[in-house]
Amino acid sequence: MAESWIILGGTSSMARAFARAVAERGCAVFLAGRDMDDLKATAADCRQRGAPLAEALRFDARKPEGFAALIARLEREEGQINAAVFVGSMPDQAAIDADPALIDGVVADNFTGPARFLQMLATVLEARGGGTVVGVGSVAGDRGRLGNYVYGAAKAGFHTYLSGLRNRLGRAGAHVLTVKPGFVDTAMTWGLEGMFLVAPPEKVAADILRAVDRRRNVIYTPFFWRWIMLIIRTIPEPIFKKLSV
Amino acid sequence: MRWKTTEYTGWGRALRARADLARPERQSALARITAQAPAPAIGQLRSYGDVALNSGGKAIDMTRLDRILGFDEENAVVEVEAGVRIGDLGLAFAARGWIAPVMPGTGFATIGGCIANDVHGKNHHVVGSFGQHVVEITLLQQGRRRRLTPEKTPDLFRATVGGLGQTGVIASAKLRLMPCPGDMMVLTERRIDGWDEFLAMLDSSRANYTVGWIDATAKGARLGRGILEEGEITSGVSPTRSRAREVPFDAPQWALSAPVVRLFNEAYFRRVPAGGRTTVKPISAPFFPLDRIHNWNRLYGRRGFHQFQCVVPVAEAPALRRMLERIANSGLASPLAVLKRMGEGRGGYLSFPMEGYTLAVDFPNRPAAVALIAELERMTEEAGGRIYLAKDALTSPERVRRMYPEHEKWLKAVTRADPEGHLITDMVRRLKLRSA
C-alpha cells in the first residue's frame, strides 16, 4: 500500500536520518523546511535510497499562512499519510533573558507552528481513517530548568498538545507518537558544554521507526532517559529550585 | 557555527592534535565556514598519520555532508557529497548493478578523503586509482564554488586529486561507476610458500581483484609465504549480514607481541587448505576485511601504530625482498602485511601509485619500529620507489621531494589556490610541502 511521510523541519540531522529510514522502506517522502537547497539534496538522497517520490516543500513554522498549500499537496497523494515533526529552535537562555521578544519565536517553532499544521492535517487523517503523527519533543519539556526553561516550556506545551491529539485521532484509527529525545549529536548540541550520553541521529531515527511500528504512545530515546527524567521529575520543588542540573 | 575544541588522531593514533572543529550539516553552512574561517577538511580520519591533523588550528568535519545527490544512469555518473562513505556508496549501488571502480581497504573512508589521497584498491592493476574515475569536483575556496574537471581545469584537478586537501575544501564530486553483475564476490584463496612464487603468481594473475597477505614473521625458506586472494564480482543473494564487532578498549602491549603474532600468522596461513579454496561472499567481506571489527586500531594500545607502505618498480623486486627480510628478522611486524602488484594509474601530482609492487606492513609504535621504518624508507628511495603519504607519520621533507618528482607542479597550483596557507595541516608543516 502506498504510504507518504511529510517531514517538517527536514533539514535537521534527526529528520534526515528518519527520512532515509522511511525512504529505504519504499515510502514517498515530503521534506518541508526553509533551506530549499538542503531539502532538495536530502530529497535526491531519499530517491537514491528507495523512495518512489521525494519532494522538497517550503515550510516556515512562523508563517502559518503557507500551511494550506502543503496540506493541499499531501491530499493529492493516495493511501496513508503520515507526518513527523522535527521542527524546533533552542536559542541561548541568556539571549532570551536579554530579549524577551525571542520567546514568541521559540514558542512558534517548537509548539504553535507545528500544532497549527497538525490541526489542519488532523481532519485529513480523520477523513482517511488512518495515518501516523510523530511529534518530536524533548526531555527538556519534562521539567523547567534554569538552562533552557523557555525552550522546555514550549516543548511541554507541544507534549500536552500531542497527548490531546492522540486522544482525538485514536477515535479515527490514526496514531500519535510523542518522542522525547535526550542529548542527540546534532548541530544544536555540537560543541556545547556538559553533554553526556550523546546519541547519534541514526539511533534516534531507528528508535522512532520501531515505536511507530509498535504503535507506542510516548517514548524516550535513548530509552534510559525515561529513568533519568523519572528521577529529575521526582525531586521535590523546594530542593529542585536550588539545583542547576 | 559553533566550534568544538577536541583532541583527535589519525587511524594510526601515534600522532595527536588538539583543534577546533566545525561540523556543518548543510552545504550553505559549509560555504559560510569556508568564507569566514577557511580551514582544512577532515573526514572519517582513516589516513594513518597526520594528513588530517591541524594542531592548534581549525578543521571542518565533513562527515555530516553525506548525501547521494543524483545518478545519471546513461553515463553511469553518480554525484555525492564529500562526506559519503565509499563503502555505503559501493553497497547501495552494487545491488543495482553498479559499483565504484576503486574501493580502498576500508569502506569507512569518505569520498573527499578518497580523492584527496587518491586511494587505490585491489584492482589497481586493472582500473588505476580513485582519482582517475572522478569526472568533476566541486571545490570551495574561501566561500567561492569552483567546478574542476580533468578537461577544463587539468592543473588544479591534478593538484586536488591526491593533493592532501591543500587546494580547497571538496564539497561534492561526480564519479563514474562501473557496471557489475551483483553484490557478491567469488573469492579464490591459495597458499603461497615463498617469495619467488608469490611474485610469479601476482604477475600471472588474470583476476580483476588480486591481493596477497604476507606472513611478515616467516624467515629463511619460508620468507614471503602467504595467501593469494583473487576475486571476481558475481551475482547472487547475500546471506544475512554478520554483525560488526568492536574492540572496546586499548589492548595491552603483549596483545601484538612477537610470539602472539607468530602464532596468529601460522593459524591464519593454515586457515586456507593446502589445496586452496573458492568461496562466494558478499562484496563487503573481501573489500573491507577489517571493517567488521570496529576500532581495530585499539589493538595496538594507546601508543598507536605505524603503517609502512611503499611501492617499488617491477625491476626492483629484489630490493623489496631485502626489505621483507629486514622486517622478518626484526620481530616487530604485526599480522597485517599486504603485497600487491600495482599498475601505473595515478590521478594527481602527489598520487602514490607507480607500476611495480607495493608492500604494506603495520608496526606497533615503538622506537625500534621507528628506526626500522627509517631504514625501509631509505631502501625504498634507493630502489626508485616511494612511500604513501596517507600512511606516513615519520618520513622527512627531503625524502618526499626526491620520491615525488611532480611536487613542484603541485606546489605551484596550491600556492595559487590557497595563497595565505589556510589549509595547511600538520603533515604539510612536518614535510615542508608548501615551501619551495
Distance from CA of B26 to the nearest CA of A (A): 6
Measured between beta carbons, the chain A residues lying within 8 angstroms of B28 are: 35, 37-38
Which residues, 6+ apart, have CB-to-CB distance to A219 below 8 Å?
A177, A178, A179, A180, A207, A208, A211
- Name the amino acid, one letter, at B275: G
Closest CA to B187 of B269, B276, B101, B268: B276
Last-in-domain residue among B180, B205, B224? B180
Cell numbers placing B318: 629484489
| Judgement on whether residues B174 and B194 belong to the same structural domain of the protein | no
Asked whether the beta carbons of residue B29 and residue A187 sit closer than 8 angstroms, the reply is: yes
Residue B249 domain flag: yes
CA distance to A91, A228, B23, B61, B209, per residue, from B83 (Å): 28, 34, 11, 9, 26
Residue B47 domain flag: no
Closest CA to B33 of B171, B172, B159, B161: B171
What gap in Å lies between CA B288 and CA B62, rounded to an integer? 22
Q: What is the pLDDT of residue B90?
A: 84
CATH number of the domain to which B138 belongs: 3.30.465.10
What gap in Å lies between CA A22 and CA A30, rounded to an integer? 11
Distance from CA of A77 to the nearest CA of B (A): 24
Measured between beta carbons, the chain A residues lying within 8 angstroms of B25 are: 11-13, 16, 186-187
Distance from CA of A185 to the nearest CA of B (A): 11
Query: Choosing among B60, B66, B69, B96, which should be mutated to test the A contact, i.e. which has the most A CBs within 10 A?
Result: B69
Measured between beta carbons, the chain A residues lying within 8 angstroms of B81 are: 41
| Judgement on whether residues B176 and B189 belong to the same structural domain of the protein | no
Asked whether the beta carbons of residue B28 and residue A48 sit closer than 8 angstroms, the reply is: no
Which residues, 6+ apart, have CB-to-CB distance to B275 below 8 Å?
B190
Asked whether the beta carbons of residue B2 and residue A44 sit closer than 8 angstroms, the reply is: no
Which helix (H) or strand (E) segment holds residue B13: the answer is none
Measured between beta carbons, the chain A residues lying within 8 angstroms of B2 are: 187, 190-192
Q: How many helices (H) and strands (E) does chain B have?
A: 13, 21
Residue B252 domain flag: yes
Check if the beta carbon of residue A128 is closer than 8 Å to that of residue A80: yes
| Judgement on whether residues B147 and B227 belong to the same structural domain of the protein | no
Find the CB nearest A187 among B25, B69, B81. Answer: B25
Q: Is A191 on the interface with B (CB under 8 A)?
A: yes
User: How is domain A3-240 classified at the CATH fold level?
Assistant: Rossmann fold (3.40.50)
φ/ψ of residue B174, rounded to 5: -110, 130
Check if the beta carbon of residue A223 is closer than 8 Å to that of residue A139: no
Distance from CA of A167 to the nearest CA of B (A): 36
| Judgement on whether residues B214 and B357 belong to the same structural domain of the protein | yes
Q: Is A13 on the interface with B (CB under 8 A)?
A: yes
| Judgement on whether residues B98 and B192 belong to the same structural domain of the protein | no
Q: Is B95 on the interface with A (CB under 8 A)?
A: no
Measured between beta carbons, the chain A residues lying within 8 angstroms of B92 are: 48-49
Q: Is B204 on the interface with A (CB under 8 A)?
A: no
User: What mean pLDDT do residues A177-188 have?
Assistant: 95
Domain interval for residue B374: 184-400
> Alpha carbon A183 to chain centroid distance?
14
What gap in Å lies between CA B17 and CA B56, rounded to an integer? 7
Closest CA to A125 of A172, A78, A158: A172
Asked whether the beta carbons of residue B68 and residue A192 sit closer than 8 angstroms, the reply is: no
| Judgement on whether residues B208 and B298 belong to the same structural domain of the protein | yes
Tell me: the pLDDT tens digits for A90-143? Answer: 998 999 999 999 999 999 999 999 999 999 999 999 999 999 999 999 999 999
What gap in Å lies between CA B92 and CA A204, rounded to an integer? 22
| Judgement on whether residues B218 and B141 belong to the same structural domain of the protein | no
φ/ψ of residue B99, rounded to 5: -145, 150
Query: Choosing among A14, A24, A45, A48, which should be mutated to test the B contact, i.e. which has the most B CBs within 10 A?
Result: A48
Pairing of β A54-58 and β B386-387: unpaired
Count the domains in chain B. Answer: 2
Distance from CA of B305 to the nearest CA of A (A): 28
| Judgement on whether residues B200 and B165 belong to the same structural domain of the protein | no
Closest residue of A to B72, CA-based?
A48
Asked whether the beta carbons of residue A41 and residue B69 sit closer than 8 angstroms, the reply is: yes
Find the CB nearest B23 among A12, A38, A190. Answer: A190
CA distance to A68, A148, B64, per residue, from A185 (Å): 33, 18, 11
Distance from CA of A140 to the nearest CA of B (A): 21
Asked whether the beta carbons of residue B2 and residue A41 sit closer than 8 angstroms, the reply is: no
Asked whether the beta carbons of residue B27 and residue A45 sit closer than 8 angstroms, the reply is: no
Distance from CA of A229 to the nearest CA of B (A): 27
pLDDT band per the 50, 70, 90 thresholds, residue A192: confident
Check if the beta carbon of residue A115 is closer than 8 Å to that of residue A162: no
Q: Is B429 on the interface with A (CB under 8 A)?
A: no
Find the CB nearest A13 among B4, B25, B92. Answer: B25
Measured between beta carbons, the chain B residues lying within 8 angstroms of A12 are: 25
| Judgement on whether residues B117 and B198 belong to the same structural domain of the protein | no
Distance from CA of A111 to the nearest CA of B (A): 24
Residue B103 domain flag: yes
> Alpha carbon A200 to chain centroid distance?
16
Q: Is B293 on the interface with A (CB under 8 A)?
A: no
| Judgement on whether residues B304 and B371 belong to the same structural domain of the protein | yes
Residue B213 domain flag: yes
Closest residue of A to B66, CA-based?
A45
Residue ranges covered by each domain of chain A? 3-240
Measured between beta carbons, the chain B residues lying within 8 angstroms of A44 are: 67-70
Q: What is the pLDDT of residue B243?
A: 66
Residues of chain B with confidence (pLDDT) below 50: none
Check if the beta carbon of residue B3 is closer than 8 Å to that of residue B21: yes
Find the CB nearest B71 among A37, A48, A190. Answer: A48
Q: What is the pLDDT of residue B238?
A: 61
| Judgement on whether residues B373 and B280 belong to the same structural domain of the protein | yes
CATH number of the domain to which B302 belongs: 3.40.462
Q: With the C-alpha atoms ordered A122, A20, B62, B12, is the resulting torsion angle positive or negative? A: positive
pLDDT band per the 50, 70, 90 thresholds, residue A44: very high
CA distance to A106, A224, A243, B13, B379, per residue, from A227 (Å): 27, 5, 19, 37, 61
Cell numbers placing A50: 528507495
Cell numbers placing B146: 569552483
Asked whether the beta carbons of residue A44 and residue B3 sit closer than 8 angstroms, the reply is: no
Q: Is B77 on the interface with A (CB under 8 A)?
A: no
Residue B110 domain flag: yes
User: B169 forms bridges with which residues in the sheet?
Assistant: B140
Distance from the first to the final alpha carbon of chain A? 47
Size of interface A-B (CB pairs under 8 A): 48
The contacts found for B22-25 with CB under 8 angstroms, 24 or more apart, are B22/B58, B22/B59, B22/B60, B22/B61, B23/A187, B23/A190, B23/B60, B23/B61, B23/B63, B23/B64, B24/A187, B24/B60, B24/B62, B24/B64, B24/B65, B25/A11, B25/A12, B25/A13, B25/A16, B25/A186, B25/A187, B25/B64, B25/B65
What gap in Å lies between CA A182 and CA B217, rounded to an integer? 50
| Judgement on whether residues B273 and B227 belong to the same structural domain of the protein | yes
Q: Does residue A156 sit in helix, strand or coil? A: helix
Asked whether the beta carbons of residue A48 and residue B68 sit closer than 8 angstroms, the reply is: yes
> Alpha carbon A43 to chain centroid distance?
18
Mean pLDDT of chain A: 95
